[in-house]
Amino acid sequence: MKAIGEFPFEWIAKDLREGKCIPFLGAGASAFPKEVNAKPPSASALALELAKESMYPPYQIIRETGGFNDAAVQERLLRATIDCENLMLVSSWVEHGLGDRSRLKEKLREHLANEYKPLPYNDSA
């Protein structure tokens, strides 16, 4: 394995500028802009917002079990939190459990249909 200093960053940058390289960015590529509103929400943040607004049943557990130190209650709280941060589960519940696909589409468009611009390239780094 090469050390980070041995990686051919200059070649990659040149290929990017010339359109000879296609970058693949993972899900966290937009996670660090300084302006919070300049990036789309993470899937878990969007799921939690949707869970709260739609009163997703596991979200009710989160609301009702705060402050208890019992291990079983803490486990239920952890499981409910994990479920509320799963965009697929929450979205499915809104669409099929509530029968409100239009609300789901509206929420997704609200957060994802904006034009997010990449941060400017900082050549001094």
Sequence-distant (6+) residues with CB within 8 A of 119 are 33
pLDDT digits (tens, 9 = 90+) for 19-73: 887 776 665 655 555 565 566 778 898 899 999 999 999 998 888 876 677 888 8
Structure tokens at 69: 């130190």
What are the φ and ψ backbone dihedral angles of 115, each rounded to 5 degrees? -90, 105
Q: Check whether 101 has a pLDDT greater than 70.
A: yes
Q: Domain boundaries in the chain?
A: 36-117
- Greatest mean pLDDT range, 48-52, 73-77, 112-116: 48-52
| Residue 82, pLDDT score | 93
Measured between alpha carbons, how far is 91 from 64 in angstroms, rounded to an integer? 22
- Give the predicted TM-score (pTM) of the model: 0.60
pLDDT, mean over the chain:
79
